[in-house]
Amino acid sequence: MATLTLSQLDKNYGAFHAVKGIDLDVADGEFVALVGPSGCGKSTTLRMIAGLEDITGGDIRIGDRVVNDLAPRARNISMVFQSYALYPHMTVGENMGFTLKIAGRDKAEIDAAVAEAARALEITQLLDRRPAQLSGGQRQRVAMGRAIVRDPDVFLFDEPLSNLDAKLRGQMRTEIKQLHARLKATVVYVTHDQVEAMTLADRIVIMKDGNIEQVGTPDEVFNQPASQFVAGFIGSPPMNMADAVTTATGLRFANGLELPMPPGFNVAEGRKVVFGLRPDDLYPEGHGIHSEGGHAVTTMDLTVDLSEPLGNETLLFVDLADKRFTGRMLNPRRVTPGEVMTFHLDLSNAHLFDADSGLSLR
Ligand code: ATP
């Protein structure tokens, strides 16, 4: 295995600047997820690392080798695609061993490597089948088996689970996590599914318009988002946000509502900001998700417009500062639309962003 370093990596498609000089260090054995909205440059970045796309500028290093001009095969990378890309006329075993075969390895060595990868992925019983005789999840496992067999320096995954149904996706997510723990592989994993990114990755890279917005652990990008964009992208349901202006003591919203200044912010009076509060931090009295000990909690009566029972919790929609805010209620009970409930707002967990730049003011 090896480190992977991107330095000022750039990609133009004609006049279109798809990746804008990004820097990223991936440690040996680290699992990094690239996330961001459609078109932000995730796949282009991955394909440049793989050598499937020329780079316009910058450097890609694997270990201490600059691989910019190396052919994909010479980079010692394995890539797992969304489409699996299995050869239909070959058996599972032949698919898995194919790259070793064209690399000229002898049959005994190939058979041993295929058998070991098949054991790791529990697909030994499928080795003689052809791809058409497999389920979607089994095909995905074969595609991963083919990647493992090569014992690469770096694994690249391009939305590998997006063709699977929700249940299978959950199962495969667990398997990828276990596999990573066992192989201690260096992984770059592209996904638009933030749950996948949060559960699998050591660090998450959030991209927007060809730039990196933030790199951090799942905990950092969730609890300390560097920008309004990251705050809105990570977390489900998304963070509630409303425009406000700072006053001498706190925040004033467009409808006249005032709130105390959230702890930890030191913002001059009269500044335009965006106030952010996660649904977890807006809850009816006695139904909180976090402990309130030592937290600055503000209490107010709010009318519930709508509720969505989810079994173990209920989402509540209320109007706050003329915006629809989502709250969360643990230990749910029935709520009728129009009911007025006393809510707690945990301002110690609130966020403030500059209204113009979108950057966090913490
Ligand atoms: P998605 O989640 O939809 O796959 P992405 O973040 O992976 O999106 P990329 O596929 O990396 O996005 O594309 C980044 C941008 O580059 C997009 O605006 C896309 O239209 C553009 N692009 C990608 N490939 C080409 C190409 N061959 N020629 C021109 N533009 C391209």
- Give pLDDT, residue 117: 87
Same domain? For 215 and 287 the reply is no
The minimum-distance atom of ligand 1 relative to the CA of 40 is 6
Mutate to test the pocket of ligand 1, among 10, 17, 34, 43 (most ligand atoms within 8 A of CB): 43
Confidence band, pLDDT 50/70/90 cuts, at residue 1: low
Pocket of ligand 1 (CB under 6 A): 13, 16, 18, 36, 38-44, 192
Mean pLDDT of the chain, nearest integer: 93
Same domain? For 223 and 244 the reply is no
Residue 360 domain flag: no
- Give pLDDT, residue 179: 84
Percent of the chain topping pLDDT 90? 72
The predicted-structure confidence for 206-264, as pLDDT tens digits, reads as follows 999 999 999 999 999 999 999 999 999 999 999 999 999 999 999 999 999 999 999 99
Domain span at residue 338?
240-354
Same domain? For 221 and 244 the reply is no
Mutate to test the pocket of ligand 1, among 17, 20, 40 (most ligand atoms within 8 A of CB): 40
Instruction: State the distance from the centre of ligand 1 to the C-alpha of 16, rounded, in angstroms.
Output: 10
Same domain? For 194 and 272 the reply is no
Is residue 268 left, alpha or beta, with left meaning phi > 0 and alpha meaning psi from -120 to 50? beta
Residue 361 domain flag: no
Instruction: State the distance from the centre of ligand 1 to the C-alpha of 140, rounded, in angstroms.
Output: 24
Select, from the ranges 3-7, 95-99, 173-177, the one with the highest average predicted confidence (pLDDT).
3-7
- CA distances to 114, 122, 152, 178, 238 from 233, rounded to whole Å, are 40, 35, 32, 26, 7
CB 326 within 8 A of CB 315: yes
The minimum-distance atom of ligand 1 relative to the CA of 207 is 6
Instruction: State the distance from the centre of ligand 1 to the C-alpha of 45, rounded, in angstroms.
Output: 10
The predicted-structure confidence for 297-322, as pLDDT tens digits, reads as follows 999 999 999 999 999 899 999 999 88
- CA distances to 86, 88, 284, 304 from 140, rounded to whole Å, are 9, 14, 44, 44
Considering its fold, how many domains does the chain have in total?
Answer: 2
Residue 362 domain flag: no
Domain boundary among the residues 161, 194, 227 is at: 227
Instruction: State the distance from the centre of ligand 1 to the C-alpha of 39, rounded, in angstroms.
Output: 5
Domain boundary among the residues 168, 198, 227 is at: 227
Same domain? For 343 and 311 the reply is yes
Instruction: State the distance from the centre of ligand 1 to the C-alpha of 284, rounded, in angstroms.
Output: 44
**H/E stretch holding 167:** helix 166-183
DSSP secondary structure code for residue 240 in this structure: E
Roughly how many angstroms between the first and final C-alpha of the chain, as a whole number?
A: 37
Same domain? For 267 and 211 the reply is no
Same domain? For 256 and 295 the reply is yes
Residue 359 domain flag: no
